[in-house]
Amino acid sequence: MFNSFFDVDWYCDRCNSCLNNQEDFDGHKYIWECTECGHKNSISSANIYESEEDFRDT
């Protein structure tokens, strides 16, 4: 597992599955396809939120 954003847990925008725990997760890629539901998630600093509430309010 590689992650260009240390201490960031990534979750699928559709099914809320933890992307960091998915096999071969690579946080250096701009897009990660969730292995649970197939949703393509953006992995970028623009998508880092302090809490789920902050994410839902956007």
Tokens of 31: 């897009």
Arithmetic mean of pLDDT, 29-39? 96
What pTM was estimated for this model as a whole? Answer: 0.81
Checking if the pLDDT of 50 tops 90, the result is no
CA atoms of 35 and 53, how far apart (whole Å): 24
Q: How far is CA 2 from CA 44, 53, 58, in A?
A: 14, 26, 27
| Predicted confidence band of residue 35 (pLDDT cuts 50, 70, 90) | very high
Checking if the pLDDT of 20 tops 60, the result is yes
Checking if the pLDDT of 34 tops 70, the result is yes
Arithmetic mean of pLDDT, 11-20? 95
Q: Could you read off the pLDDT of 1-10 as tens digits, one per residue?
A: 556 677 889 9
